[in-house]
Amino acid sequence: MNTSTSTFVRTEMLPQQAPPITEAGAVKWLRENLFSSVLNTILTILGVAAVAYLVMHIAPWLSRSVWNANTLSECRQIITERYGEGATGACWAVIRERWPQYLFGFYPSHLYWRPVLAFVLLCVAVAPVLFDKLPRKMLWFSLVYPAVGFWLLWGGSVWVPVMALAGFAIGYAAARIVKPLAGTIIATIAAVLAPVLWWLFLAGPAADAMQSILPVALQAVRSREFGGFVLAFTIGFTGIAFSLPLGIMLALGRQSDMFIVNKLSVGFIEFIRGVPLITLLFTASLLLNYFLPPGTDFDIILRVIIMVVLFAAAYIAEVVRGGLAALPRGQYEAADALGLDYWKAQRLIIMPQALKISIPGIVSTFIGLFKDTTLVVFVGLLDPLKGITDAVRASTDWKGIYWEPYIFVGTIFFVFCFAMSRYSMYLEGKLKTDHR
Amino acid sequence: MKQSVFLGTLAATTLFAGVALAQGTSTLETVKARGELNCGVNTGLVGFAAPDASGNWQGFDVALCKAVAGAIFGDASKVVYIPTTSSDRFEQLTSGKIDFLIRNTTWTFSRDTDLKMDFVGVNYYDGQGFMVRKDLGVSSAKELNGATICIQTGTTTELNLADYFKANNMTYTAVPIETNAEGEQQYLAGACDAYTTDASGLAATRAAFADPENHIILPEIISKEPLGPAVRHGDSAWGDVIRWTMNALIAAEEFGITSANIDELATSSQNPEVQRLLGTSGELGKMIGLEADWAKNAIKASGNYGEIFAATIGESTPIGLARGLNAQWTQGGLLYTPPFR
């Protein structure tokens, strides 16, 4: 029966309609992210109000910046002339005038090229450690860099750092010579003992002797002439470079079955972590003076660096121990099954995994260490944040300036800490092997 | 290998440790042998000690360092300025890191006796005062009952304040602050009605405000703060050098010896005491263990006491301090040096 041709089924497509306004574009995003509920709406409004309040108060101050003036009163005068009576503005002229002091402290001005060169070489030395695409041969320079950096910063005879480096060669040679004669354990002891004896008793006279034969020397710069960011970077980067290996050794020591090694590591870590860094710094700067023979001039920056390294190493040790604890037991057993000895197992199987897990914690410790370098102000060293700033404020020209130096120094610290943080994220991404 | 890296750093440190000086010699001998004077100064206090843009230290206290170096070496530049904080200054002195301390340190009984220091004189008579905003309508510290007061913690000023309010049967609320710069900020932000510290510091602080005319320093001085150089207990010969160098600067002002006319007076003065002071006659230098022209070189370093005062903290500087108690005794002040005889 062929009746009506009318049908309930459409034969042609309707034209597409735009989605409802609440389900697309900016409105959707706003609704979903900012106004999804009453509470969220209130929070959004409060948040925007807070940001607006801050910007309204800071932006005019920042926009009225003065870069060219020689005193604070000159700054104020310029701001008054430009923006009328009662206007306030930022006086960055203090940074401009005291720029060398913030960077170099009291480092002799004709030698500024030395810390600059040391910094450039530091970048070269660090690059192959950070990025594995660079030629591996560059690592040799990284190993030598501490001596080069030391010589550039402190100056003096070139033979001092050379003889210090020679200690490592001596240790290596001692191990190679003794091993076939007396076995691994004796060779390890020789590798440690020979350089220590060399450094303690022979390196100094040897350096003097070489200096008299072939004098190569830079003008010596004393530690108390260091200041500002040169000081912060010197302490910070040395601390970072030395605290990681020491921290790993301590973590392994704490995991060790050997009674004395274990207890010494535990005692050291718990003691250092239980004491504020300032206490250690005061100990380094004041208490040691009473123990050392009178007149001994044990370099203050070196003392501070040692304390900072010990402090950071104790934290690193615990971070790395966390990484070690996270490894399944099977990894250790697999290493044993392959017949690897302890050090090979650590180097090839355990540490690569444990360190990968520990990266965020390690980098946090490094960032903390870098920022803690400002604490050296309490032992009379001129750190950039407070030491140099107080010194700048103490001149009649700049007395009364408050926020600008803090903002400037804070910005520089932020740049470096943020870079460290981003690098650690890059590294985590690169080393990621699981499929979570 | 990693372990040896650590041991290496420890051992390498000994490489750079300096030569131990023989023990038991007097400070003067040690300083002469070293060829430099280690002078403990403030890390930065306006007018008293501050480095300029090129790192040269200047100020009222620094001038005494230069004078002492001039007296010992005949060369005022042979000074190493060691910045000391208020918490480590005494340890720096007792442990021998500095030869003497000139860091606006108040001479008190306990510091002189208990802390085993010897104050050798007073180079600046200070006292604690108050600064308030003009619109507070206060003209005397006695009217500060119930006020909030910004005060640096851990200083003698904190104790003085408590004493003063107790003695006058008044109350106050303390706003503790850490540094002078922070105190200024708190005061300017209205966190406290009054700011109290040494009068010299108040003057410097007020001078640095954008609107100094809206702030007044109250007339009351509530404490005695004799600031002076200190040396270690038990080395009187060294204390003498500092004391008499300072006295030489004061005497020079009294006798009208300035850095401009000193060479002329050294040869032409008929005053026997000036002659003795400048080493033209007598053997004062030998008695104190220095060259005959020690005082002359000390005065030449930055001028006599009055010249130093005028150049660093005096009325022509932004700090603008009047001489007040620090005038010569002939002018109604307290500066009175024993005779050079």
Q: Which residues of B touch A77 (CB under 8 A)?
A: none
Which tokens sit at A22?
């609440």
Q: Position of tokens 């309204």?
A: A56
Q: Say if residues A380 and B42 touch (Cβ distance below 8 Å).
A: no
Does residue B258 sit within a domain?
Answer: yes
Distance separating alpha carbons of residues A56 and B36, to the nearest angstrom: 54
User: Which of these three, B224, B242, B263, is where a domain ends?
Assistant: B224
Which tokens sit at A54?
């801050």
pLDDT for B5 beyond 60: no
Closest CA to A403 of A75, A30, A81: A75
DSSP state of A91: B
User: How near does any CA of chain B get to the CA of A43, in Å?
Assistant: 29
Predicted confidence pLDDT, tens digits, chain A (436 residues): 555 566 678 788 888 888 887 787 888 888 888 888 999 999 999 999 999 999 999 999 999 999 999 999 899 999 999 998 888 889 999 999 999 999 999 999 899 999 999 999 999 999 998 888 888 888 999 999 999 999 999 998 888 888 888 888 888 888 888 888 877 778 888 888 888 888 888 888 888 888 888 888 889 898 888 999 999 999 999 999 999 999 999 999 999 888 999 999 999 999 999 999 999 998 888 777 777 766 666 788 988 999 999 999 999 999 999 999 999 999 999 999 999 988 899 999 999 999 999 999 999 999 999 999 999 988 878 899 988 998 898 888 898 888 999 999 999 999 999 999 999 999 988 888 776 6
Which tokens sit at A160?
């001092």
Distance separating alpha carbons of residues A202 and A186, to the nearest angstrom: 22
Distance separating alpha carbons of residues A71 and A91, to the nearest angstrom: 9
Phi, psi (deg, nearest 5) at residue B231 = -125, 170
Distance separating alpha carbons of residues B164 and B153, to the nearest angstrom: 16
Q: Residue B21 burial by CB count (10 A; 0-12/13-18/19+): exposed, middle or buried? A: middle
Per-domain boundaries in chain A: 19-63, 223-436
User: How near does any CA of chain B get to the CA of A23, in Å?
Assistant: 49
Distance separating alpha carbons of residues B16 and B82, to the nearest angstrom: 20
Distance separating alpha carbons of residues A58 and A336, to the nearest angstrom: 62
Does residue B9 sit within a domain?
Answer: no
pLDDT tens figures, B19-47: 333 345 789 999 999 999 999 998 888 89
Q: What is the pLDDT of residue A86?
A: 80
pLDDT tens figures, A407-416: 999 999 999 9
Supply the DSSP string of A271-330, one letter for each residue: HHHTS-HHHHHHIIIIIHHHHSPTT----HHHHHHHHHHHHHHHHHHHHHHHHHHHS-HH
Taking the CB of residue A157, how many other CB atoms lie within 10 A of it?
20
Q: Cα separations (Å) of A305 from A121, A315, B13?
A: 20, 16, 11
User: Which of these three, B173, B202, B224, is where a domain ends?
Assistant: B224
Domain identity same for B219 and B256: no
Does residue B240 sit within a domain?
Answer: yes
Are B49 and A394 an interchain contact pair (Cβ–Cβ within 8 Å)? Answer: yes
3-state secondary structure of B137: coil
DSSP state of B102: -
Mean pLDDT calculated for residue range B57-67: 95
Closest CA to A418 of A354, A352, A370: A370
The secondary structure of chain A in percent helix, strand, coil, rounded to multiples of 5, reads: 75, 0, 25
Q: Cα separations (Å) of B288 from B238, B292, B293, B338?
A: 9, 10, 12, 15
Q: Which residues of A touch B185 (CB under 8 A)?
A: 402
CATH of the domain spanning A223-436: 1.10.3720.10
CB pairs under 8 A between A and B: 177
Are B18 and A248 an interchain contact pair (Cβ–Cβ within 8 Å)? Answer: no
Sheet bearing B147-152, strands edge to edge: B172-177, B147-152, B194-198, B128-133, B215-217
CA atoms lying within 13 Å on the CB side of residue A345: 15
Q: Say if residues B150 and B177 touch (Cβ distance below 8 Å).
A: yes
pLDDT tens figures, B266-317: 999 999 999 999 999 889 999 999 999 999 999 999 999 999 999 999 999 8
Show the beta-strand stretches assigned E in B127-254: 128-133, 147-152, 172-177, 194-198, 215-217, 225-227, 230-232
Does residue B20 sit within a domain?
Answer: no
Distance separating alpha carbons of residues B104 and A82, to the nearest angstrom: 40
pLDDT band at B161 (very low <50, low <70, confident <90, very high): very high
Q: What is the pLDDT of residue A3?
A: 55
Distance separating alpha carbons of residues A376 and A392, to the nearest angstrom: 17
Q: What is the pLDDT of residue A286?
A: 77
Is A246 within 8 Å of chain B by CB?
A: yes
Domain identity same for B139 and B218: yes
3-state secondary structure of B225: strand
Q: What is the pLDDT of residue B17?
A: 36
Q: Position of tokens 């009054």?
A: B194
In Å, how far from its chain's centre is CA A217?
30
User: Which of these three, B196, B224, B252, is where a domain ends?
Assistant: B224
Distance separating alpha carbons of residues A347 and A365, to the nearest angstrom: 22
Are A286 and B92 an interchain contact pair (Cβ–Cβ within 8 Å)? Answer: yes
What's the predicted TM-score (pTM) here?
0.84
User: How near does any CA of chain B get to the CA of A422, in Å?
Assistant: 28
Phi, psi (deg, nearest 5) at residue A396 = -60, -25
Does residue B3 sit within a domain?
Answer: no
Which among A106, A380, A392 is the nearest to B85, CB-wise?
A380
A156 → chain B, closest CA residue:
B16
Pairing of strands B79-84, B37-42: parallel
Which positions ≥6 away from B126 have C-beta within 8 Å?
B104, B106, B198, B199, B200, B225, B226, B227
pLDDT for B2 beyond 60: no
pLDDT tens figures, B248-265: 999 999 999 999 999 999
Does residue B18 sit within a domain?
Answer: no
Are B8 and A167 an interchain contact pair (Cβ–Cβ within 8 Å)? Answer: yes
Q: Over chain B, what is the mean pLDDT?
A: 87
3-state secondary structure of A132: coil
Core vs surface per residue B293-323: b (16+ CB within 10 A) or e: bbbbbbbbbbbbbbbbbbbbbbeebbbebeb
Show the beta-strand stretches assigned E in chain B: 37-42, 50-51, 57-58, 79-84, 100-101, 117-119, 124-126, 128-133, 147-152, 172-177, 194-198, 215-217, 225-227, 230-232
CA dihedral A288, A292, A298, A302 (to 10 degrees): -40
Q: What is the pLDDT of residue A5?
A: 62
Phi, psi (deg, nearest 5) at residue B10 = -60, -45
Q: Say if residues B128 and B194 touch (Cβ distance below 8 Å).
A: no
DSSP state of B272: H
Whole domain around residue B132: which residue ranges? 127-224
Which tokens sit at B114?
């208990």
Does residue B5 sit within a domain?
Answer: no
Domain identity same for B284 and B198: no
User: How near does any CA of chain A get to the CA of B72, in Å?
Assistant: 20
pLDDT tens figures, B93-119: 988 889 999 998 889 998 999 988 999
pLDDT for B9 beyond 70: no
Q: Position of tokens 């590798």?
A: A191
Does residue B35 sit within a domain?
Answer: yes
| CB within 8 Å of chain B, chain A residues 317-356 | none
Domain total in chain B: 2
Q: What is the pLDDT of residue B18?
A: 34
Q: What is the pLDDT of residue A436?
A: 60
DSSP state of A383: -
| CB within 8 Å of chain A, chain B residues 285-314 | none
Q: Cα separations (Å) of B246 from A203, B252, B285, B321, B324?
A: 46, 10, 15, 20, 19
The ipTM assigned to this model is: 0.79
Closest CA to B27 of B300, B289, B217: B289
Closest CA to B248 of B287, B201, B292, B295: B295
User: How near does any CA of chain B get to the CA of A46, in Å?
Assistant: 25
Q: What is the pLDDT of residue A423?
A: 93
Specify the CATH number for the domain of residue B235.
Answer: 3.40.190.10
CA atoms lying within 13 Å on the CB side of residue A349: 19
